[in-house]
Structure 1
Amino acid sequence: MFTNLILLQAAPAAAQGQSYSFLIMMALVFVVMYFFMIRPQTKRQKELRKFQEALKKGDKIVTTGGIYGKVWEIREQYIIIEIDDNCKIRCDKSAILRDPSDLQQAK
């Protein structure tokens, strides 16, 4: 009975040493996640926002829905896209993904 009491009293001291190593391990996991997942995603978002802001009339684009077209007119919140002769659609600026030439370079 006394041995159980001694072991129970010694347990918190051992657990405290392990908690520091656990905190260090969790910090390292967060750092790895930041450099491999969060940082590249924010970099891509900045590049996409810069591309969307630099659009001008006549640029070829691809929307998030997969529609290819040319920029016909640019407004504050949306863009009018010409997808065929006399066929224009209005699309939100945030739905513009990239230039189709980027897709050809990726192949």
Structure 2
Amino acid sequence: MSQGALAQFLPLILLFVIFYFLIIRPQQKQQKAHKEMLASLKKGDKIVTNGGLIAEVIKPEEDFIKIRLNEDTVVKLDRAYVARRIDEA
């Protein structure tokens, strides 16, 4: 490979490195943190669903979570639809 060919590919390589550190890596960190949060859900935790509903975890199961929306309503929610946990600190 000649010096000229390397000089032609250098901007492309630099662009990929910048793309990786600004977009791909932070997204991977966010996905890892969300997966850890889902794994650590326990009875009594307050969560927000992707639909914006605030609920309390009744029973975490393998693929689903039983949640209480109000005093009378208990439903099953797919783990993928939990947006975040509400920390009551």
TM-based fold match above 0.5: yes
TM (norm. structure 2) is 0.88
Answer yes or no: is 1:56 the counterpart of 2:42.
yes
Q: Aligned Cα RMSD in Å?
A: 1.7
TM (norm. structure 1) is 0.74
Runs of 4+ more than 4 Å apart: none
In proportion to residue count, which structure has more helix? 1
Answer yes or no: is 1:70 the counterpart of 2:56.
yes
Answer yes or no: is 1:89 the counterpart of 2:75.
yes
Answer yes or no: is 1:43 the counterpart of 2:29.
yes
Q: Which secondary structure state, in structure 2, belongs to the residue aligned with residue 84 of structure 1?
A: coil
Give the number of equivalent residue pairs.
87
Among all aligned residue pairs of Structure 1 and Structure 2, give the percentage whose two residues are the same amino acid.
33
In structure 2, distance between residues paired with 1:84 and 1:60: 12
Question: What stretches of structure 1 of length at least 5 have no aligned partner?
Answer: 1-15, 103-107
Question: What stretches of structure 2 of length at least 5 have no aligned partner?
Answer: none
Amino acid at match of 1:34: Y
Q: Which has the higher contact order (CA 8 A, sep 6+)?
A: 2
